[in-house]
Amino acid sequence: MQSNGFELVVNTPIETQLPNQDLRDATAVWVDMFNHAQHQIDIAQFYVYNQPKSNLDTVLAALKQAGTRGVKIRFLLDQKGVGISNPDTIKEIQSIPNLEFRVMDFSKIENGIIHAKYILVDQKTAFVGSQNFDWRALTHIHETGLKIDDSTIVKQILSIFNTDWSNQHNLVTNKKLIQYQKHKVLTKPLHGYYLLASPAQVTPENIYVTEDAFPQLIATAQSKISIQVMQYAPLGYAEGKGKRNFYPLIDNSLRAAAARGVAVELLVSDWNLKQPDIAWLKSLALVPNIKIKLVTIPKSKDGFIPFARVIHSKYMTIDESTTWIGTSNWTGGYFDHSRNLEIVLNDGQFTQRVKQLYQQLWLSPYAYDLDINQQYKTVNPAKE
């Protein structure tokens, strides 16, 4: 599905009844982007995790070929992501010719992480999506992204990469950080194609800030909002044992939409089946006009795979012609503290294809209604 410089890129878990034969997946798109690179590749990721003979192995081979051809590569990884990365994958990336590898402690900027997953090629083409640089994302997880040829948005994404690349050096050398105070204000949320980014203080001034734009966008809904996310809770990060701060921005916006008669549908992964997240989901499900389904992807025939077999896509449609595709989970810590990117497309034809994608999962055997009276067993992504 391509429209005005944007291509919808979807990965669905193997061994499921979720075909999307008209759409390319991230493996095909990333390999194609790297094969056509002539001068420069920029990659920012939360973590990296390869497995031999996997689809990511094919991607890394294409990246290595690009470096061998003389393409200059910059690879930026988050410090917290190093701990969940495969050390051999990091070494493999570092060994690629003409590649400069940097690790950024983003927590020193906003107590967040680089959670955005994006690629830039020759300052002309970009990829933004939920797909991590992880073999599982390319084979065993439901993921949604965008290949972008829109020159304005590509330049904006490049300016974000350059800001973080420079600030990584500034953090290491104790120099002053590049920061921004004022930002472009969104006045026409239902017009055109545009980028949203977070967090505000390190987002260049010519880019809309996600926290400012999100409530505005939800407020435009007249009939229906459909959302697919891995994680939903009006609370901060679930990591560690610290107190999870209340983060009402998303929840308040959806409740307000439902209160004025908008039908709100929410598809979330079964990784939400833990306290207190499930209690908040049940609370939201009590609101008239809001319907929530959980999604469980069956185990692979190869057996249990940690942190896989899940829906990880982060997208939304509003009414008939507005689509949001991004990298944020819908909890606290993502719109406010972490580096994330979201693309908004006001495009009827594109939105109709995304709505088909949504309906495919909503009506699939993997989705089931959230029962507010049921005591659900907690799902542990790390082990059976």
DSSP-assigned states of every residue in 305-372: -TT-SEE---EEEETTTEEEEES--EETTTTTTSBEEEEEEE-HHHHHHHHHHHHHHHTSTTEEE--T
Angle value at C-alpha 173, between 169 and 175, nearest 5 degrees: 90
User: Is pLDDT of 152 > 90?
Assistant: yes
Q: What is the mean pLDDT of residues 362-369?
A: 99
How would residue 239 be classed by pLDDT, with cut points 50, 70 and 90? Answer: low
Is domain 184-369 classified as CATH 3.30.870.10?
A: yes
Q: Over the stretch 162-191, which tens digit does the pLDDT of each residue have? A: 999 999 999 999 999 999 999 999 999 999
Q: Over the stretch 91-111, which tens digit does the pLDDT of each residue have? A: 999 999 999 999 999 999 988
Across the chain, what does the average pLDDT equal? 97
Domain ranges of the chain: 2-151, 184-369
How would residue 237 be classed by pLDDT, with cut points 50, 70 and 90? Answer: confident
As a whole number of angstroms, the distance between CA 263 and CA 103 comes to 43
Q: Which residue is listed with tokens 């008239």?
A: 288
Residue 1 pLDDT: 74
Same CATH topology for 2-151 and 184-369? Answer: yes
Q: What is the mean pLDDT of residues 128-133?
A: 99
As a whole number of angstroms, the distance between CA 203 and CA 210 comes to 10
Residue 64 pLDDT: 99
Query: 103: closest CA among 59, 50, 165, 41?
Result: 165
Residue 209 pLDDT: 98
Q: What is the 3-state secondary structure (H, E, C) of 42-93?
A: EEEECCEECCCCCHHHHHHHHHHHHHHCCCEEEEEEEHHHHCCCCHHHHHHH
What is the C-alpha radius of gyration for the chain, rounded to an integer number of angstroms? 20
As a whole number of angstroms, the distance between CA 168 and CA 181 comes to 19
Residue 243 pLDDT: 79
Query: 316: closest CA among 283, 342, 280, 338?
Result: 342
Residue 310 pLDDT: 98
Q: How far apart are the first and last CA of the chain?
A: 37
Q: What is the mean pLDDT of residues 268-287?
A: 97
HSE on the CB side for 51, CA within 13 Å? 10
Residue 238 pLDDT: 58
Q: Which CATH number fits domain 2-151: 3.30.870.10, 3.40.50.1470, 3.30.590.20, 3.30.420.40?
A: 3.30.870.10
Which one-letter amino acid corresponds to residue 86?
N
Pick the range with the lowest mean pLDDT from 89-93, 94-98, 111-115, 241-245. 241-245
Instruction: List Cα–Cα distances, 342 to 24, 119, 323, 370, in angstroms.
Output: 20, 14, 10, 27
How would residue 244 be classed by pLDDT, with cut points 50, 70 and 90? Answer: confident
Query: 67: closest CA among 37, 44, 90, 87?
Result: 37
Chain-centroid distance, C-alpha 193: 17
Query: 43: closest CA among 56, 27, 57, 30?
Result: 30
User: Is pLDDT of 141 > 80?
Assistant: yes
